[in-house]
Structure 1
Amino acid sequence: MALLERAVVGKILGRRVSFFLLKAEIQRQWGRFDEFQLTTMGFDCFICIFSYVEARDEVLCGGPWFIGGNLIGLDRWSPDFSPTSMEGLSSPVWIHLPNLPLLYWDDDNISRIASRIGTPLWIDAQTGNWGRREYARVCVRMNLANKLQAGVWVNG
């Protein structure tokens, strides 16, 4: 169905929010991209259909997105989507890499280490400029169906 090609499915991770709050927050955060139709699917899932595929892609590539302090997991709509599963849902998440030896303090190594958690998207400006030494800060796109790792061991 062509309509659903422009759709994003989302799952609210955390406490329940009202439809009124969901709609108001999504309008505030995503209204700049395009007009959309919003429908809920159960108490923690929703589908948002945009007028253009480009707007859907802007939402999927942006974030992380929060509704009422709750993280939102997103994915393109597919016939396999299930409101009872986290499969396919992802979100950008900022992670810290504390106690990183200076030997590994460059974009390639930081990205390689962060890729053990998710797909690296951005390195914090302070990290890239060596402005902060307590930890490196990286935004990764995490698959929310995977178990969250407590950490990653780096040689050295």
Structure 2
Amino acid sequence: MVKFHSSTDYLKVLTGGPWMILGLYLSVERWRPNFNPNTHRVSSVVAWVCIPSLPAQHYHVGILKMVGDQIGRTVWIDIPTQQADRAQFARIAIELDLTKTLEARVNFWGVWYHIVFEDLS
């Protein structure tokens, strides 16, 4: 267990993976009450999701959070996406539920958008 005093460091560790130590993946999750490492099974992961071709009018933090929450739980929206500096794709860190099938698209306001999961294999 690791405690962060800086929210910047916390977000960097939570969204910066996948992390490997000696060739093995290290699972990083936010803390949950009653966590027991002896019985815990990894059921979620934070991953970056890219949404190409999302219209520029949707590049607003509130709207992007709604889009991200359709995929999982929005953790962070990268700065270029927040500032609409990069129009090629929106990039959102999302906590994904690994017990559910990952969909390759998301429906937002009646339109289907293709999504790309970074570093998941």
Which TM-score band applies after superposition, normalised by the shorter structure? Answer: 0.5 to 0.7
Q: Structure 2 unaligned runs (5+)?
A: 112-121
The higher relative CO (CA closer than 8 Å, separation ≥ 6) is in 2
For 1:81, which of 39, 54, 75 is the aligned residue?
Answer: 39
Amino acid at match of 2:79: A
Residue 67 to residue 129, structure 1, CA distance change in 2 (3 Å): same
Q: Distance in 1 between matches of 2:37 and 2:20?
A: 25
Question: Structure 1 residues 154, 74: CA separation in 2 closer, same or farther (over 3 Å shift)?
Answer: same
Post-superposition offset of 1:153: 1.9
Query: Does residue 148 of structure 1 match 2:106?
Result: no
Aligned counterparts of 1:70 and 1:138: Cα–Cα separation in 2: 25
CA gap 1:96/1:132 in 2 versus in 1, 3 angstroms: same
Paired AA for residue 102 in structure 2: L
CA deviations over 1:14-72 (Å, ceiling 9, x no partner): xxxxxxxxxxxxxxxxxxx4xxxxxxxxxxxxxxxxxxxx46xx9x9742342267654
- Structure 1 runs not aligned, ≥5 long: 1-6, 8-32, 34-53
Partner residue in 1 for 2:119: none
Counterpart in the other structure of 2:45: 91
Structure 1 residue 79: Cα displacement: 8.4
1:21-60 aligned within 5 A: 33=2, 54=3
Count of aligned pairs: 99
Distance 1:125 1:81, change over 3 A: same
Q: When the two structures are superposed, what TM-score results if normalisation uses the length of structure 2? A: 0.63
Rg comparison, structure with higher value: 1
Q: Is the 8 A contact 1:74 1:90 kept in 2?
A: no
TM-score (norm 1): 0.50
User: In structure 1, what is the Cα distance between the partners aligned to 2:89 and 2:106?
Assistant: 13
**Which amino acid is 1:66 matched to?**
W
